[in-house]
């Protein structure tokens, strides 16, 4: 609510929903490629996409904003603290449960930045911002295509134990979550 509502008030629900869903998908795909030993629960990729969309909003509309630099530092401070804590929890702290996937956070943020640059309203478009639009489109498309192809070409099959009550599942495709 705190992250998405300000964006939604300026740019509309459809654009914010697209950014959120792209972040969820990117978080899942990124984890399936780079960090397969963790379980994904929740929507951290989508939340980080919304955080990074604030960064995209500042990049696109800096000249029309009041306190744009303050917004930029606030976004970076919140994201840096949370990603730092996730990395610390994963590698330095005593494990209390399944590890946290910081890769979902980072790939969700990358999706939020790139999709945010593509779909958020730019109130004064300049020539160099058109180039930035094409670069963002290329980065998002290349990363998504790579992750999908990686998952198709490298399916991980693991045996599953007896689930009880006569239910015995033989295989689970980890990377697809099926």
| Residues belonging to the active site | 44, 105
Kindly report the number of other CB atoms within 10 A of residue 1's CB atom: 6
Cβ proximity of 44 and 27 under 8 Å: yes
For residue 143, the SS3 value is: helix
For residue 31, the SS3 value is: helix
> CA-to-CA distance for 80 and 33, rounded, in angstroms?
23
> CA-to-CA distance for 159 and 142, rounded, in angstroms?
32
| Alpha-carbon torsion, ordered 96, 98, 101, 102, to 10 deg | 10
Which has the closest alpha carbon to 105: 40, 35, 27, 175?
Answer: 27
């Amino acid at each position: 609510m705190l992250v998405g509502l300000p964006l939604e008030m300026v740019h509309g629900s459809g654009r914010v929903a697209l950014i959120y869903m792209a972040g969820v998908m990117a978080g899942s795909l990124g984890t399936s490629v780079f960090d397969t030993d963790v379980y994904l629960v929740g929507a951290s990729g989508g939340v980080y996409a919304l955080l990074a969309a604030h960064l995209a909003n500042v990049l696109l509309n800096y000249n029309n904003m009041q306190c744009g630099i303050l917004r930029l530092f606030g976004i970076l401070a919140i994201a840096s603290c949370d990603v730092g804590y996730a990395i610390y929890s994963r590698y330095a702290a005593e494990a209390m449960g399944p590890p946290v996937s910081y890769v979902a956070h980072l790939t969700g943020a990358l999706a939020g930045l790139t999709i945010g640059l593509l779909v958020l309203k730019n109130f004064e478009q300049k020539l160099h911002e058109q180039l930035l639009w094409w670069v963002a489109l290329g980065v998002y498309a290349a990363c998504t295509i790579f992750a999908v192809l990686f998952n198709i070409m490298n399916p991980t099959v693991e045996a599953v134990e007896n689930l009880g009550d006569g239910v015995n599942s033989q295989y689970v495709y980890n990377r697809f979550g099926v």
